[in-house]
Amino acid sequence: MIDPDRSLIRLLAETGALFFADDLRLKDGRPTPYFVNVGAFRTGRLVLEMGRGLAAMIERQGLLDRVDVVVGPSYKGSALAVAAAAALWLDFGRETAFDYDRQKVKMHGEATGVGAGFVTGALTDGARLYIVDDVASSMATKIELIRKLKAEEEKQNIRFEVLGVGICLDREQTTAVYDDQGRVIEGQKGEDARAAFTEATRLGGDNPLGLSVDGVPVHSLMGISRVIEVLYRDQTPVLVGGKWEPISPELKARFDDYQRTYGP
């Protein structure tokens, strides 16, 4: 029987979605020896494989009959939301809507006089949402999407329930730390990114992001430590400095040191 987890790990390597290079930086400004670009899953087969993983994760969480809309943040999360909704139908017979945010609010056509911050119109009153995205680093993209969802609630005078967030790959990192000038401080740990997100979405007081009594839980298909361990043990070629080669002991040690520095 094929292990779906290992199958996706292998695809990360084969597509070059996971790669190592010098002088890489994350969106939050921190250095990193590796990067994961799920945009490399650029064919129908590949994106459906990731969608099937996300759909299976929704089923494992006991949410199969509860999710009404799969939502993905633009841009990479958009394709993942479509793929997950398609996989829910293909693999589980569950017809689920999908939606994703606009980078610019639409003011014409069906949105005349109202303004539409999301694309498909699936975000109706009482809808139960499940958010999907490619990678979890600081969770900043997910926080931004939650803000957009809250703004949509207020604009339309409706309410959503966010059941959870599903991530293809968890970088297993803390949040970035910045100085008084907003510059990232390298080598310092912040908060556990996933735990901080759940706390930020907890209902209580005047919390502007409050969506759930216990906060919105975060689930992941893969954690980066297991991904690297599997690829290293199997000596699966990955992109390293633009060349295909197995992960060397030196590169594995560099990754381990990075995780000690920025891991939770």
Domain locations in the chain as residue ranges: 4-262
Residue 102 CA, distance from chain mean position: 17
Burial of residue 184 (CB within 10 Å: 0-12, 13-18, 19+) is: middle
- Between the two ends of the chain, the Cα-to-Cα distance in Å is 33
Strand partners, 234: none
pLDDT at 111: 43
Q: What is the pLDDT along the chain (264 residues), one digit of tens a residue?
A: 345 578 999 999 999 999 999 999 998 899 999 999 999 999 999 999 999 999 999 999 999 999 999 999 988 899 999 999 999 999 999 999 999 998 765 443 344 344 568 999 999 999 999 999 998 877 888 889 988 998 888 888 999 899 999 999 999 999 899 999 999 999 999 988 888 888 888 877 677 776 666 788 999 999 999 999 999 999 999 999 999 999 999 999 999 999 999 998
- Comparing C-alpha atoms, which of 255, 184, 169 is closest to residue 30? 184
**What type of residue is 174?**
T
Q: Which tokens is 187 given?
A: 């080598």
- CB distance 188 to 180 below 8 Å: no
Cα(207)–Cα(222) distance, rounded to whole angstroms? 30
pLDDT at 192: 87
CATH 3.40.50.2020 correct for 4-262: yes
pLDDT at 105: 57
Contacts made by residues 87-95, CB under 8 angstroms, sequence distance 24+: 87/48, 87/51, 87/52, 87/54, 87/55, 87/56, 88/55, 88/58, 88/64, 90/52, 91/52, 91/55, 91/56, 92/55, 92/59, 92/64, 94/64, 94/65, 94/67
